[in-house]
Amino acid sequence: MNHQEAIILLPAYVDKELSLSESVDLEMHLNSCDECKREYDEQLQMSILIKNMARNYEPTQEFIQNLGMKLSLEPNKVQPIKLPKRFMELNWFNTWGNKGLVFASFLAIVWSTSLFLTLPTAQEKFTEELVASHVRSLEVDHLSDVISTDQHTVKPWFIGKLDYSPPIVDLASIDYPIEGGRLDYINSKAVAVVVYRHNKHPINLYIWPSNNKESDMQEVTKNGYKLVHWVTDYMSYWAISDLDSEKLLAFSRSIEVRVKESQKS
Amino acid sequence: LVLHEDTRKIYMNEPTKKLRFQTAIMPHIDSAFNLARWLTRGHQDAEDIVQESYLSAYNYFDGFRGEDGRVWLLGIVRNTFYTWYQKGKVNNQHTQYEEELHSLNEVADEPNSSNPERILIQKDSQRLLQQAMRELPIEFREVMVMRELENLSYKQIAEIIQIPIGTVMSRIGRGRKQLAAILTEKNGSAK
């Protein structure tokens, strides 16, 4: 794909409206083109900003009732559907109190060259990046670099590729078999990804060192994907999947428990 | 998509026009109002347009075959607005942000924003964005609302506006860029 075509298609790429082959073509160009990268960032940031900070206006109940009467409809049946209109609205905001972070990204745009540039858009960008990485791994059929259902094959594969050794846990007995592992780049750092599968749903488990010893489990929903994050023994874990949150949480707890068990033994 | 299929099933099972209208079209009143309110300047104009749209929707409802009710309705809302707009009925010259100001008191009422200073800055930036969106030319503003706030697909937007999908894509792209430019400019002049 040449530059001219890529620039035209970028908005649709941000909106996930491109076909698989177009996305792959565009990504190949995007990786090597700084202008397209900037354009992509701008499109994405503006999209996030509007979704989170522009207002949804709602009609008053009185207006809805009156309109129902004018159309002589039965009043009790006239109820608008309350759809979650904004993709990050519910979990993302409430769990993380993240308005401030969205706001920080707003500042970064508005005062892009001034002192606000250093404000932390980190968390926001970061989950965005994780989701993008997860989606990419599904789209380009690149889930695993090493394909094996055996933890003892996957674990050594990472040695020499990373400066830490990610704990690999086998959960085949509870129907979350390992499919393989791969290296991915998050925040410009190489990280370990262990791929699990549950009833045809792939789960990407990202693992890298953390400065904290432990943390509680937190759940985020982003672009329809569920993310669960926790820290065990100075390792940070992010599980991402399109599984429902109950199953992903169950998966995450099992990983956490087994990692702790394996440390004791 | 799932919702659409369900709506269609329910719709097919309703015996009378009135009931079909209630199940297929009435639930989209929030979307209709949101679009109308973003196209117009005032709450009253938006209510008038939504009301007129619903009355025409009911009249034309015999032509509705159980397709996407929200797309069908928003197409009518949009047409109603443009008819008004051309007649000059809509109070569009009247620049006023009182409602915007007023609305921001509600927006920032979140349990998390307990820091008064932060609330203030947040309100300010929300107002800035709100005003910037209002300054976008209508043909860009409407696609931004449909895409970012109503979460409609390019295909749905193309159907509502009756333009090719490629045009939807370029308007969304240019709309975002323009908005970024307006925000940068506003910030420059505010300093």
∠ CA(B65), CA(B67), CA(B72), 5° rounding? 95
Cα distances from B132 to residues A54, A78, B3, B43, B136, in angstroms, run: 10, 34, 33, 19, 7
Looking at residue B112, its pLDDT comes to 46
* Residue B95 pLDDT grade (very low, low, confident, very high; cuts 50, 70, 90): very low
Looking at residue A9, its pLDDT comes to 94
The structure tokens listed for B159 are: 């159907």
Share of residues in chain B with pLDDT > 70 (%): 72
Does residue B132 belong to the interface with chain A, where contact is any CB pair within 8 Å?
Answer: no
- Three-state DSSP state, B110: coil
Looking at residue B11, its pLDDT comes to 56
User: The pTM is what?
Assistant: 0.57
Who wins on pLDDT, B13 or B158?
A: B158
Looking at residue B86, its pLDDT comes to 84
- For A196-237, the pLDDT digits (tens) are 999 888 999 999 888 778 888 888 888 788 899 998 988 889
pLDDT at A122 over 80: no
- Three-state DSSP state, B34: helix
Looking at residue B18, its pLDDT comes to 83
State the complex-level ipTM. 0.80
- Minimal C-alpha gap between B79 and chain A (Å): 19
Looking at residue B102, its pLDDT comes to 47
Looking at residue A196, its pLDDT comes to 92
Share of residues in chain B with pLDDT > 90 (%): 49
CA nearest to A105, candidates A128, A131, A124, A92? A124
- For A29-64, the pLDDT digits (tens) are 988 899 999 999 889 988 988 887 788 899 999 999
Who wins on pLDDT, B70 or B14?
A: B70
Using an 8 Å CB-CB cutoff, list chain A residues near B26: 68, 73, 77-80
* Residue A103 pLDDT grade (very low, low, confident, very high; cuts 50, 70, 90): low
Best of A15, A41, A87 to disrupt the B interface (most B CBs within 10 Å) is A15
User: SS3 sequence, chain A?
Assistant: CCHHHHHHHHHHHHCCCCCHHHHHHHHHHHCCCHHHHHHHHHHHHHHHHHHHHCCCCCCCHHHHHHHHHHCCCCHHHCCCCCCCCCCCCHHHHHHHCCHHHHHHHHHHHHCCCCHHHHCCCHHHHHHHHHHHHHHHHHHCCCCCCEECCCHHHHHHHHECCECCCCCCCCEHHHCECEEEEEEEEECCEEEEEEEEEECCEEEEEEEEECCCCCEEEEEEEECCEEEEEEEECCEEEEEEECCCHHHHHHHHHHHHHHHHHHHHC
> What's the mean pLDDT when you consider all of chain B?
80
Looking at residue A96, its pLDDT comes to 39
pLDDT at B67 over 70: yes
Who wins on pLDDT, A139 or A117?
A: A139
Amino acid at B53: S
* Residue A105 pLDDT grade (very low, low, confident, very high; cuts 50, 70, 90): low
* Residue A81 pLDDT grade (very low, low, confident, very high; cuts 50, 70, 90): low
Best of B49, B76, B125 to disrupt the A interface (most A CBs within 10 Å) is B125
